[in-house]
Each structure stands twice: as C-alpha cells, then as structure tokens.
C-alpha cells in the first residue's frame, strides 16, 4: 500500500472515545480520578512496597507543587531527574498543578546529552533526590550539570515545607481551583526528549490534550479492568513509561506497581509474583531478561505483557509462551505520538506486526526509492505532539507540517489495517545499488544465535558504496554459518555482513533500545 491514507475509525469527525475526558489538564484529570475511584483507594505501590492512595498522592502533589513554584514562573520548564516511582510522578503532577512544565530528563544519557537537553528546553532548575543521586552514583553528573541549572533536592523541600504549603494542600484537595493554576488543555504539559539513537536529542512538547487523548485511545483499544495490577519498570523519561506506565493506570483506577530500574531482572520477576501483577510493560530486550531470570511461576499472574520501543523477536515470544503461557502484545509508538500509535489486541494479535492504529488516527505512506511494497509512515491524530524543540532553536516549539508527523519508519499496512515495521529509513544500507534492511540482518543473526545480542550498522565502502558490519556478543559468530542459514530461509545473501565485530556487550540506552551511536563508534575503533 503506497501513497495511501487510512483512517482508524472511519471518516467521522467525532472521536470514538470520550472527548470530555481529554478537555482538561493532567492535574484536573488526576483530581477527577480520585473522585471517581475514591480517595482511599490504593493507587501506587512504590519501589520499597510503600502504598499510596489517591488522597496521599493529591496532598503530596499540592504541598510539593506550592513549594516548588517559588522562584519559577508560570509556563517555565522545570527538569525532573528521578527514577520510576512515586517521587517522579508526584513531582510531575506538582509542577503541572501550578502551571510549570515538567521536562523529564534522561539521567542515563551522560553529561553532554543532559546539558544539551537543558539548553534546548531552557531548563534552569532540576528536581531530584539526594538518595537517588547517591544510589545511582550520579555525583559527578550532578556536579557537571550544576553549571547549567540549580539543583533542588526533594528531601530539602519536604523538610522546609511551610504552613502555607500545607494549607494549599489542605484547601486544594477539596477546592483545587483556589490554589492551582489554570492552563488550556492544548498548552504544553510535558517536555520529553527523543532517544538520541541517531544523534543529538530533540525536545518533544506534548500537550495535556495529547497525553489524555492517548490514555483514552489505549482505554478503548485494549481491554483493561479495575482489578488489573500494572507493573511498570520503565523510566518516566521514556514516554511509554510515563503515559502508559504511570498516567494511564492512575486515570483508569488501576493499581500500578513501580520499580525504579528495568535492569534488575531477578528482583522484577520476584516482585511481579509477590504483587500479583496482571499486566507488564516492557521492551523486548528487558522482557527476554525477565523471562530467563524468573523462577517457574514468577510471572504466572500476568494475563498480558505489552512490549514497545523495539521489535519483539520470535525467540522472546516463544520463550514467554513456553515458560509462562503469557500472551505478548506488541505495539508501536514514538515520543511524538504520546507515544502509542498502534498495538495488537487480545483476540486480534498478529505476530510480526505492531497491530492496528489507535482510534482517531490517520496514517499515510509515501513511497521510498529502492524499497518496494512499503512506504514511509506519516501519522496524524489527537495524540500527535505540539511540536519539536530543536537544539538550534531553544524554547521554540515547531509544529509538524499540516499536523502530520514523519516517523521516518518504513512500514507495510495490510488490508486488515495491521502494520508491520520494516525498519527506520536511516536503518537501511545501499550496497552496490541494492537496499538492505539492517533490521533484517539483526533478525537473521538473532534467529541463528538467539542467546546472544546483535546490532548491525552500515559503514562506507569505496567499492560498493556501503557495507554491513555485525556487532555481536557471540564470540563464534561468523559469515560461513550465517550464509548457510540465509540460504535455507530464503533471505538474499546480500543481507550477510562482510565483517563481524565481537564484543562483550551491546550498548543500550536507558529505554532498552540499542545505542547505535555507540555501536558505530565501536565499529570505527575496531577498524582503527
């Protein structure tokens, strides 16, 4: 399907979900969720197993927000540098309630990446916690970014809460309009940053309407119940971890169990068991680790695992099915769509695809030279961002042209609306005039050597334009064996790398995605 436009929900102008639930701020939506489900209902289980009710969250949000607003102005971006947990989410709502815009900072991106993000979003103040900095060994990082922004520690703020701060919480939990800021629902609600897998991160400005629309889209797309317990180990600087892993369960009355890092597979498998979680959010990289690390029965309470951010390998799907009988739903999203754009569903789960579009979205495919039967994906809908904030234009939001976001992904869409991702446009190599998908190269390596990690990159070649290099943790991986495999599976031999680089680990970003910038540097260093 090329040069085609498809709509997820017919040509009607009305949205196929409750639009009234999107015409407000994220804080107002939290306030209404507390009224809907009850202030005493357990809403969050933190990393230390401390349980917070809606009342607890609301009081902490209002008191902390009243204290944090001092020294900042309405509409100003304020950084949040915290692990997944109650502290990060309460800080998010606290800033938002008083008209500030939380900028969720990726503390795994290093000092250069963080300082770039601070300049791009014009962040002059960062909210963090001394205990987090100490446990994560971020003292050197904090010392560097202090040059660009004031560091505010939550422990100090809590210790110095004034009577006015506490009074604001007491009044605001019943009459929030008296103490909180009023903001149009189409104004920025959060600034997130692109993953930086292919260069310097850009800021992504998402409105209250964007975030709440995406929650509604997920609600009508996937069967969710108040009895569900959602387990979220994904970082809140990642849109999947923020919108689906934190905001959605709070708004829909689903208890959420937070884990501060996705990098503890044994602990996570154990906590899934003890918490009785029914839904797990993950990426393929992390999901595979949890399934392997877990003891028999650890993941048996799960009724579904939802994976995004990267392609789900057949090996991961088979492992989950064999060891735990879990249904794995693969979805697709980007930060620019708040993030969920498509997902498989229970009863409509087609492996090898990322499912169908969210309600109210349109997709357009544009042909790409050298890649037949697929197209470059453009998306439009209520969850598409306000716009980018680029490093060369700090603070300025540049909206997508005509409301269409160019994903840069090459996809196919079948007659039933199921989307299959073929790879990013930048993840194709040109070899002797032929186009080769680097994702296909990685898929072949993963199928042949499933117990190892692999990453393919393209490097210049004086004779054929480019050549493919496979970076792999398999010390025995070689061309002869891979050539035999592709011949037996109908894959063109051109997809077999000419060169292999053997490493101990494949570098990944904090979101679990392969860090191709570092992989490319490894290849360059190996060649040198």
Check residue 10 and give its pLDDT: 33
Contact between residue 458 and residue 432 where contact means Cβ atoms under 8 Å apart: no
Q: Domain map of the chain by residue range?
A: 432-527
Distance CA 423, CA 442 (A): 11
Contact between residue 450 and residue 461 where contact means Cβ atoms under 8 Å apart: no
- Residue among 88, 87, 45 nearest 277 (CA): 45
CA atoms within 13 A on the CB side of 47: 18
Q: Which residues contact 48 (CB under 8 A, 6 or more apart)?
A: none
pLDDT, average across residues 69-89: 95
Q: Is the pLDDT of residue 72 over 60?
A: yes
Q: How far separated are the first and last CA of the chain, in Å rounded?
A: 44
Q: Is the pLDDT of residue 1 over 50?
A: no
Whole-number percent of the chain with pLDDT over 90? 53
Contact between residue 10 and residue 363 where contact means Cβ atoms under 8 Å apart: no
Q: Which of 11-25, 123-137, 314-328, 438-452 has the highest mean pLDDT?
A: 123-137
Instruction: Report which of residues 73 and 436 the model is more confident about.
Output: 73
How does pLDDT run across 198-237, given as a tens digit for each residue?
556 799 999 999 999 999 999 999 989 999 999 999 999 9
Q: Is the pLDDT of residue 8 over 60?
A: no
Contact between residue 334 and residue 342 where contact means Cβ atoms under 8 Å apart: no
Q: How confident is the model at residue 14 (pLDDT cuts 50, 70, 90)?
A: very low
How does pLDDT run across 475-501, given as a tens digit for each residue?
888 888 888 887 777 777 777 888 888
Q: Is the pLDDT of residue 197 over 60?
A: no
Q: How confident is the model at residue 134 (pLDDT cuts 50, 70, 90)?
A: very high
Contact between residue 471 and residue 522 where contact means Cβ atoms under 8 Å apart: yes
CA distances from 294 to 260, 307, 328, 467 (A): 18, 18, 16, 39
HEC secondary structure over 308-332: CCCCCCHHHHHHHHHHHCCCEEEEE
Q: In the predicted model, what is the mean pLDDT of the chain?
A: 87
HEC secondary structure over 222-267: CCCCCCCEEEECCCCCCHHHHHHHHHHHHHHCCEEEECCCCCCHHH
- The pTM is what? 0.84
Range with the poorest average pLDDT among 19-23, 97-101, 139-143: 19-23
Q: Around Cβ 454, how many Cβ atoms within 10 Å?
A: 23
Distance CA 403, CA 316 (A): 36
Residue with tokens 């629902």: 185
Q: How confident is the model at residue 464 (pLDDT cuts 50, 70, 90)?
A: low
For domain 432-527, give its CATH number from 2.40.160.40, 3.30.300.30, 3.40.50.300, 3.10.20.30: 3.30.300.30
Q: Around Cβ 336, how many Cβ atoms within 10 Å?
A: 26
Token pair of 509, please? 């970003």
Q: How confident is the model at residue 430 (pLDDT cuts 50, 70, 90)?
A: low
Distance CA 343, CA 340 (A): 8
Burial grade of 148 (CB within 10 A; 0-12, 13-18, 19 or more) = middle
Whole-number percent of the chain with pLDDT over 70? 93
Q: Is the pLDDT of residue 139 over 90?
A: yes
Contact between residue 190 and residue 242 where contact means Cβ atoms under 8 Å apart: yes
Helices (H) then strands (E): counts for the chain: 17, 27
Q: How confident is the model at residue 33 (pLDDT cuts 50, 70, 90)?
A: very high
Q: How confident is the model at residue 263 (pLDDT cuts 50, 70, 90)?
A: confident
Q: How confident is the model at residue 511 (pLDDT cuts 50, 70, 90)?
A: low
Token pair of 265, please? 């597979």
């Amino acid at each position: 399907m090329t040069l085609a436009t498809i709509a997820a929900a017919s040509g009607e102008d009305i949205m196929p979900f409750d639009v009234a639930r999107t015409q407000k701020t994220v804080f107002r939506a939290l306030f209404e969720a507390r009224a809907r489900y009850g202030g005493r209902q357990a809403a969050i289980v933190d990393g230390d197993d401390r349980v917070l009710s809606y009342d607890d969250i609301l009081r902490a949000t209002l008191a902390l927000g009243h204290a944090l607003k001092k020294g900042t102005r309405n509409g100003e971006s304020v950084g949040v540098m915290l692990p997944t947990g109650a502290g990060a989410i309460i800080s998010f709502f606290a800033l938002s309630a008083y008209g500030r815009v939380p900028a969720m900072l990726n503390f795994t991106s290093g000092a250069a990446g963080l300082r770039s993000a601070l300049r791009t979003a014009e962040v002059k103040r960062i909210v963090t916690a001394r205990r987090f900095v100490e446990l994560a060994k971020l003292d050197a990082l904090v010392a560097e970014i202090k040059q660009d922004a004031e560091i505010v520690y939550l422990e100090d703020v809590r210790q110095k809460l004034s009577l006015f701060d506490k009074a604001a919480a007491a009044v605001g939990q019943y009459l929030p309009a008296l103490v909180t800021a009023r903001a149009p629902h189409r104004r920025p609600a959060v600034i997130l940053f692109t993953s930086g897998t292919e260069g310097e991160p850009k800021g992504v400005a998402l409105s209250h309407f964007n975030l709440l629309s995406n929650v509604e889209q997920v609600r009508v797309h996937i069967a969710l119940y108040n009895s569900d317990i959602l387990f979220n180990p994904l970082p809140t600087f990642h849109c999947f971890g923020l919108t689906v892993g934190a905001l959605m369960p709070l708004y829909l009355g689903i208890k959420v169990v937070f884990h501060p890092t996705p990098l503890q597979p044994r602990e996570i498998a154990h906590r899934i068991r003890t918490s009785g979680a029914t839904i797990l959010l993950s990426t393929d990289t992390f999901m595979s680790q949890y399934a392997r690390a877990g003891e028999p029965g650890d993941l048996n309470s799960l009724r579904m695992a939802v994976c995004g951010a990267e392609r789900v390998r057949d090996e991961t799907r088979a492992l989950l099915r064999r060891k735990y009988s879990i249904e794995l739903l693969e979805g697709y999203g980007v930060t620019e769509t708040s993030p969920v754009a498509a997902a498989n569903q229970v009863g409509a789960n087609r492996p090898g695809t990322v499912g169908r579009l969210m309600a109210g979205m349109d997709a357009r495919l544009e042909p790409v030279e050298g890649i037949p039967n697929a197209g470059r994906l453009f998306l439009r809908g209520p969850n598409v961002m306000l716009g980018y904030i680029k490093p060369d234009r700090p603070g300025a939001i540049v909206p997508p042209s005509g409301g269409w976001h160019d994903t840069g992904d090459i996809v196919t869409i079948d007659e039933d609306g199921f989307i299959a991702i073929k790879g990013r446009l930048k993840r194709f190599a040109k070899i002797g005039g032929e186009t080769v998908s680097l994702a296909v190269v990685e898929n072949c390596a993963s199928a042949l050597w499933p117990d190892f990690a692999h990453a393919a990159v393209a490097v210049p070649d004086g004779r054929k334009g480019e050549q493919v290099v496979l970076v792999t943790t398999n010390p025995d991986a070689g061309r002869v064996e891979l050539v035999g495999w592709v011949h037996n599976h109908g894959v063109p031999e051109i997809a077999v790398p000419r060169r292999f680089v053997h490493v101990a680990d494949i570098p990944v970003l904090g979101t679990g995605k392969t860090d191709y910038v570092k992989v490319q540097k490894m290849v360059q260093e190996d060649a040198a």
